[in-house]
Amino acid sequence: MSSVRHSKAPAAFVSLFAPAGHRRWWHYSYRCGQCGTYQFGRAPRLEDVTGPRRASCGHKVSIVVARTYSGPA
């Protein structure tokens, strides 16, 4: 009997920074739940921020927005 292991990527709760000033992309930061390193990312569109991906430390994570910061009104 073979055992197949399906592991779901752990959630990584990000702080999301809206485009402001000369910055046109969405920026986000989070801490990897497996190794504890802080990661940074960016995306051209808001809908591209969330979802599964591989962090730069090599671990699989599922990006979830925890808080959003906007620029000056």
Q: Is residue 48 part of a domain?
A: yes
Which pLDDT tens digit goes with each residue over 28-66?
A: 999 998 899 999 999 999 999 999 999 999 999 999 999
Q: Is residue 36 part of a domain?
A: yes
pLDDT at residue 4 tops 60: no
Q: Is residue 25 part of a domain?
A: yes
Which H helix or E strand runs over 16?
strand 11-17
The domain of 21 spans 11-69
Q: Is residue 5 part of a domain?
A: no
How many domains would you assign to the chain?
1
- The reported pTM is 0.81
Q: Is residue 3 part of a domain?
A: no
Cβ-count burial 9-22 (b if 16+ within 10 Å, e if not): beebebebbeeeee
